[in-house]
Chains A and B, each alone.
Chain A
Amino acid sequence: MTNQFASSAIDVLSLAMLVVAIGIMWTRSLGRAMLLLGIQSMMLATAAAYAGLATNSPHILVGAGLTLIVKVVAVPAILWAVLQRIPTSHDVQASVGQRTGVAIATLLAVVFARTLGGQPFHTAIGAERVLPTAVTVMVIGILVMVTHRQALAQIIGFLVLENGMALAALTATYGMPLVVEFGIFLDLLMAVFVAFVYTGRMHVIFGSLDTEHLRSLRG
């Protein structure tokens, strides 16, 4: 595989990841948001695989494999278990409307594309447009976390943020050193598992996963 081909493939995949992120901002169904998240992680794993094949570096391929196992299989499985546990509502409550949310996300994408376009980064793969895209995906992840009240939606937002960052790391430096990557995935898995435990408790104590209930500690 040529470097040229890999870098344009990664370019396309990163744009697709951005579109999916906006889709997560748009959707009002938790199930669909989770599906979109899984698709986005799959794209990330594919991009990593391209980078690994193009540069013949096994450690990037290991990273791609880890992404596949952790972000495409394990994490969605945990989230799915949460969704099965809450029989009540699978709708997302958000503090901004669908159109406003998408408008803000798109605006962010444009702003980052223009401001980060000529940055001091010479990305490792030569996919110059990827970095602004990755940063936008990260920011949309944070946006999902702040605007969505459902605990599960907040976890999804965090994982979008993670995906954006992994994309940035992949393009800027071919990912982190392998030991560090292992640690990052382990921490991520543990954090999602703890969040899983907490959603269970929230359901028992408050009867729903609406973070509106988490407002007693003030001042």
Chain B
Amino acid sequence: MIEIAVACLVGVPLACGLAIWALRLPGAAGPAALAASIVALVAAAAIATSVQADGAQSAYGGWVYVDSLSVVVLVLICVVGVCATANSLSYIAHDVAHGELREQDQIRYYALLMGFMATMLTVPVANNLGIMWVAIEATTVVSVLLVSIYRTGPALEAAWKYLVLGSVGIALALFGTMMTYYASTSIVGESGNALNWTVLARSGGALEPDVMRLAFVFVLVGYGTKAGLAPMHTWLPDAHSQAPSPISGLLSGVLLNCAVYAILRFRVLTIAAVGSSYPDHLMIGFGLFSIALAVPFLLVQHDIKRMLGYSSVEHMGIIVLAVGIGGPIALYAAMLHLVAHSLTKSSLFFAAGSVVQAFKTRSMHRMRGLIRVTPVAGSVLLVGAFALVGFPPFAMFSSEYGAVAGSFAHGRAIIGVAGLLLVALAGISLLSHIIQIAYREPRRGVTVRRLPAPAVLSIVTPLALMVWVSVAPPHQFRTALDDAVAVLEGR
């Protein structure tokens, strides 16, 4: 059962991408990609149900391993993936109609999109941390080609920075992985299993502390580059602003999660070997710095997509900070924040994409009256912005509250309060931009833009899901997060 689900999860998007590439039918590419991502979503739901009922499971001779932490990341990738694909249909058609992309680019776009999905989905199901590394590096190579799909100078610049910084970062993570392998082989002997999560988690306490300390720094800096933690974040605003908006939504909403997921796995191993204060302090440092660095850039930003990109730097900082604070309350808050950020930010990027196409600019100085000109996208941007800065009743209020409460419970009150102040500053900056562009009187001559139904659905759905889990979370959702926290605590 789990074998079939995992095969569909990774195999169907991959096969679909290859088929799109081989058959070269521009008209059929979009619908085929949408169908494949829906199949992946169904498979992810099946895996989630099965893991929640029967606990963690291995498959394919131990190459595949899914537990509650994998499931959270997995389901998010599929949900955002389906919405991004649905959103692409009208977004890409618009760009082709306006001559920004060629007819043939659609094939490349959808094939790469499916490849991107398949590589991301491999990350949370891989048992071997080396394979996980290979999958994360593969996401860079595939997604960088999506960032540069518009053949402009700035897009090329963004892609080059992403490729270079991403590769160096990920190389450092490989060095950290290699050291973990070294620590592991001295216990279980030299074997292919020595990098398997199932083996490492069992022998965690016996891993050599000095080696694991060094390994964790490399892993944190390496995967942290990919997760957009400051000061290694410089590729992120460029790539997010230059990519087509559905891809920006995927990059920010779920790719960053994959990198955070990798850090979380190594954190559990490091804590087992050297205790929690060492990784906690490092994560608190990177978390606070990322939030603090995002504030001035959010304040002066005028490019709407760059602003959302810097907001992602901030939110990854919040998640890492909450994990660093530690304890069941803050860890639960971190997982809730991860989910809420994914859903909210992908909606916002899809909406921003539609707004940018309507106004033909990314500059917020030249956008007026969003609500009138693009009613759906404008409203989503407004509601999403309130959710993003942590207004109640949205989930990010609960998660930020939880992180601060956790910091008090764990004797780290000063850190929690400092984080909260910075988050408030960042929130005010972002919100003031969005409110200004939402309500100003629209220029004369700007026509109201109507979106087709799939586009509306794809923009609204993630936000609606976020509201749902904020206001009336089903018990499966809470159980899923509780189980994920249990994995984070090494239980």
Of the candidates B137, B191, B208, B211, the one whose C-beta lies within 8 Å of that of A191 is B137
The reply to whether the CB of A1 lies closer than 8 angstroms to some CB of chain B is: no
Chain A interface helix/strand/loop/mixed: helix
Residues of A within 8 A of B174 (CB): 165, 184
Known: A173-B190, A198-B159. A187 touches B154 (CB 8 A): no
* Closest-CB distance, A169 to chain B (whole angstroms): 5
A172 close to chain B: CB less than 8 A: yes
Contact across chains for A173 and B134 when beta carbons are under 8 A apart: no
Of the candidates A154, A165, A184, A205, the one whose C-beta lies within 8 Å of that of B156 is A205
Please classify how large the interface on chain B is, using the bins under 10, 10 to 19, 20 to 34, 35 or more. 35 or more
Chain A proximity of B243: nearest CB distance (Å): 12
**Are B141 and A172 in contact (CB-based, < 8 A)?**
no
**A211–B128 CB distance below 8 A:** no
Chain A residues whose CB sits within 8 angstroms of the CB of B167 once the complex forms: 158, 191
* Nearest-Cβ distance from residue A198 to partner chain B, whole angstroms: 6
> What 1/0 flags go to A134-158 for Cβ under 8 Å of B?
0000100010010000010010001
Asked whether any CB of chain A lies closer than 8 Å to the CB of B161, the reply is: yes
Closest residue to B151 on the A side, CB-wise?
A201
In the complex, the answer to whether B141 meets A120 with C-beta atoms within 8 Å is no
Contacts of B140 in A (CB 8 A): 191
From B134, B171, B179, A183 is in contact (CB under 8 Å) with: B134
A118 to B69, CA, bound (A): 38
Q: Is the CB of B181 within 8 A of A176?
A: yes
Docked Cα-Cα span, A169 to B167, in Å, equals: 18
Number of interface residues of A (CB under 8 A): 42
- Taking the complex as formed, is B195 at the interface, i.e. its CB lies under 8 A from any CB of chain A? yes
Name A174's closest neighbour in chain B (CB-CB): B190
Q: How far is the CB of A154 from chain B (nearest CB, A)?
A: 6
Contact of A138 among B163, B175, B191, B195 (CB under 8 A): B175
Chain A to chain B contacts (Cβ below 8 Å), 17 pairs: A121-B182, A145-B164, A161-B168, A176-B181, A177-B181, A177-B192, A184-B134, A190-B138, A198-B159, A201-B148, A201-B156, A205-B153, A213-B153, A219-B297, A219-B300, A219-B301, A219-B306
Residues of chain A having any CB pair with chain B under 8 Å: 119-121, 138, 142, 145, 151, 154, 158, 161-162, 165, 168-169, 172-174, 176-180, 183-184, 186-187, 190-191, 194-195, 198, 201-202, 205-206, 211, 213-217, 219
